[in-house]
Amino acid sequence: MKRKLLFALLPLTLLAQDATQKKEEPKKEETKKEESQPPAPAVEKALSGFIDIGYRWTSDVGGDRATYRSIVNTFEGVRLPAMQLDWVSEKSKVADEAHLQASNWGDPFNGARFNVGRRGIYEFNARYSNLFYYNYLPSFANPNLASGVYTPEVAYDTSVRNYDYELRLLPGHRISPYVGVLRNSSAGTGIMPLVLDNNEYPIRNNIRWSQDNIFGGARFEWSRWHATLEQGATRFRDDQYMYSTQSSTGNRTTPYLGQTLTLTNGQQAYGIRGDGLYSKVLLTANPTNWLDLYGQFLYSNPETTANYSRNATGTLYAGDPFFAFYTRNQDMLYGNAGQPHTSGYTGGEIRLGGNVRVRQTWSTDRYHTSSFANLTSLYSTSSTSQTVTSTEPDRMVVNNSYSLTEGLWDVSKWFTVRGGFRYDYGDTTVRSGLTSITQPFEQGELKRYVGLFGVTVRAWSKLLFSGDMERADAKKVYYLTSLADYTRLRTQVRYQVRNDLTIGGSFNFLYNKNAFSGLAYDARQTSIYAQWLPRGSKYLSVLADYTRSTIMSDINFLVPSSLQPAESLYKDNANTGTLLLDLKAKGEHSPHLTAGGSFVTTSGSRPSRYYQPIGRLTVPVTKHVQFFGEWRWYGFSQTFYLYEGFRNHQILTGLRLVM
């Protein structure tokens, strides 16, 4: 019918075109002149992106505000939830493009990223992140909790900042030099215990530390090999000052040898300085079509110095060598340490006939720490004073290595089998523990044999399954809690049920047992997920996932105060889930709704409940302005620690300005 209608209208179309040509005949020459003019160039849109500006309202925190700040820690105020600006220009001689991204400014965790460059000339990348870290859980490190004291021994209220700058020259060329600076720093306040003989006194603490890394090098890119040479320098600074503001009886609630221990005034400070150089070499090569080689080498030799001082007054007790009460203690310590550190790995892959590949890898990590410390201690009473000076040389030697041989056989296009063997070995020399009979040092040795097996299945172009298993037999390990005789299993599966529906899951299992100590450790995790994108729909999607995990550990230990054997038994069963619905109405300027939430429930040694539902609505107002509103609810509770629960509503509204 459509074809018949087309043929019927064709004569009328031709007649209309002929009439139009005759009518415009006098302007024929003018039309030719206009056609000879080149079309006007399209206006280049150099700047694009968006900026979100909003304001957050929060309800009063129901429950414990310190726990709320330790987990959520967001408050009312103006926010910059997100920003992305992209600038592209082919006319500029300085840069081809620049990109700026920022997120969550005004919240406890925020960051920004900036990239600018010109193709083949340079690339500059900068990253920044800031974390306001607050941790003040009343039940954490609090031996006086049973007495109704809700002040922990350890607490933090700090800001952690990270900076990352890198400039790369001649990207895409065979030789590409680069330089960069990394900086990580933290500053703030908190609570830490001043530890004296037979008691601990939680007092205020000022924290400040930083670590800088300045590096430069070059990347070499050839057809058959690639290499990176880098030289860098590190600098570490750590300063801490602790002080008391009032008299304290510390954690001991009962008299000691007939007297109540009391700290009336206490200060403690230390400063650590560490500097060093390092060299790094990376190399990959493909000498032939059937052989790949790779390796890395890193050497560093940092040196560290430390200064420590402590001044405490009150009713205090000195153990070895005095075993007496005193009223004042002064400590002064100076120490230094050096640590030559060498690490590296090398390996290769050989591709044999019959779709068989063999990989061989060897890795080592070796460092030797030598240190020296000189401590002078003064113990005073109203009538006497005694001074003790001690010198403490120390060393720690650690050598860890492994050798891995692995074979892979592509049985068919849809089935691959892997198998291998890893030998972990090493030795260490460390300071002996208090109960050791090998004073002043003791040695440890690592010998562990690990068998590896894995498969990958790709069936019907819709099913993907992979599984890996490790089975270890340890003859010697360093610590009672080290991985010894363990079994580890990891599997993943993904199935494309239909073009619009994907489901998948994973299973992870680890069981570790140390035959020498009776220690047992068991951890397993099962996850499933589904993603539904209705066929032909660009406006609806559903994402759901659920994870079930369990952790169990049974560790025997000696109580420090009495050296009596005891058992530490811990168990945790957790359920975690997320459900998100994304719905958008048809049309360019249509509302967009996202709704759902997440939850975590645990049982066992510390039962907990955490819920976080969310709803977000975006409504376009004009072509360049969108309104958004977001609601969140936070709910947290614990069966054994009801005082640490909280609940809170939050609403964020604002405008998105689209460039």
Q: Is the pLDDT of residue 575 over 80?
A: yes
- The whole-number average pLDDT for the span 416-420 is 96
What are 500-544's pLDDT values in tens digits?
899 999 999 999 988 776 788 899 999 999 999 887 567 789 999
Distance CA 554, CA 558 (A): 14
- pLDDT > 70: what percent of the chain? 91
- Of 178-182, 232-236, 545-549, 554-558, least confident by mean pLDDT is 554-558
Conformational region of residue 163, where left means phi above 0, alpha means psi within -120 to 50, and beta covers everything else: beta
- The whole-number average pLDDT for the span 223-237 is 97
Q: Is the pLDDT of residue 282 over 60?
A: yes
* pLDDT value for 19: 39
Q: Is the pLDDT of residue 31 over 70?
A: no
- The whole-number average pLDDT for the span 618-639 is 94
Q: Is the pLDDT of residue 361 over 70?
A: yes
* pLDDT value for 487: 96
Tell me the pTM. 0.84
* pLDDT value for 44: 55
What are 169-181's pLDDT values in tens digits?
999 999 999 999 9
Q: Is the pLDDT of residue 47 over 60?
A: yes
Strand (E) or helix (H) holding 489: strand 485-498
Q: Which of 111-120, 312-321, 381-390 has the highest mean pLDDT?
A: 111-120
Q: Is the pLDDT of residue 559 over 60?
A: yes
- For 78-135, give the secondary structure using H, E and C: EEEEEEEEEEECCCCCCCCEEEEEEEEECECEEEEEEEEEECCCEEEEEEEEEEEEEE
Pairs from 431-439 (Cβ < 8 Å, separation ≥ 24): 431/394, 431/396, 435/558, 435/563
What are 90-126's pLDDT values in tens digits?
888 899 999 999 999 999 999 999 999 999 999 999 9
* pLDDT value for 585: 78
Q: Is the pLDDT of residue 341 over 80?
A: yes
Q: Is the pLDDT of residue 560 over 80?
A: no
SS3 646: strand
Q: What is the rounded average pLDDT for all residues in the chain?
A: 89
With bands split at pLDDT 50, 70 and 90, how would you rate the model's confidence at 68? very high
Q: What tokens were used for 545? A: 């996932």
Q: Is the pLDDT of residue 622 over 80?
A: yes
How far are the Cα atoms of 69, 193, 286 from residue 612, in angstroms, in the given order?
15, 35, 51
- pLDDT > 90: what percent of the chain? 72
* pLDDT value for 536: 59
